[in-house]
Structure 1
């Protein structure tokens, strides 16, 4: 026992925390397979009222543009840190992009 907690419970909590950490780290940076040249063969619709387009896949990166709700744009299959690459140095949060066609 450690601090009154049974050893078995501590092991289970540690394993669950480890699996959760691996899941979170793995979902932050992923590149989708099958990316093609050009626009990446992907078209998306904006679901947010106003969506900021950033210079890098980071919430603190400079805003380089904006999309209004229901706007459609070409996108690439590349996703990093929860942002989808729209074009060179243009990234938008994936949770506000709905795939229309292609391999998003």
Structure 2
């Protein structure tokens, strides 16, 4: 016993604190990576007449916006299931997005 607390309890608490710290650090890195991708010069042009922007990278994702043909928008380098991440909870079909000249979209 340390300070009146059983060692087993202290070990469990230490492990939980460690997991929370690791998760928090990883969360910060994921956020920074997404922001860095968009600011890293990934500008795309819409090639479809009207392109649905969805809340998730799938056809089942709720439509949260639309982009018209030839519209330019900032995007990230993240592509999942054929959808490019435009912003937080905003995805569009990558086949209808063309990087502008000089864009770094990965």
- Considering the TM-score relative to the shorter chain, is it more than 0.5? yes
CA distance in 1 between counterparts of 2:76 and 2:46 reads 15
Alignment match, 1:98: 98
Identify which of structures 1 and 2 has the higher relative contact order when contacts are C-alpha pairs closer than 8 Å and 6+ apart.
1
Q: Number of aligned residue pairs: give it.
A: 71
**Normalized per residue, which structure has more strand?**
1
Structure 2 stretches lacking a partner, 5+ long? 1-32
Structure 1 stretches lacking a partner, 5+ long? 1-33
Alignment match, 1:53: 53
The 3-state SS of whatever aligns with 1:103 is coil
Alignment match, 1:37: 36
Query: 1:71 aligned to 2:71?
Result: yes
Structure with larger Rg: 2
CA distance in 1 between counterparts of 2:78 and 2:39 reads 8
Using a 3 Å threshold, how does the CA distance of structure 1 residues 36 and 90 change in structure 2: closer, same or farther?
Answer: closer
TM-score, normalised via structure 1 length: 0.63
The CA RMSD measured in Å over matched residues stands at 1.8
Q: How does 1:19-30 map to 2 (within 5 A)?
A: none
- Deviation per CA, 1:64-101: give whole Å up to 9, x if none: 00000000000000000000000000000000000014
CA contact (8 A) 1:35 1:103 kept: no
TM-score, normalised via structure 2 length: 0.62
CA distance in 2 between counterparts of 1:102 and 1:36 reads 15
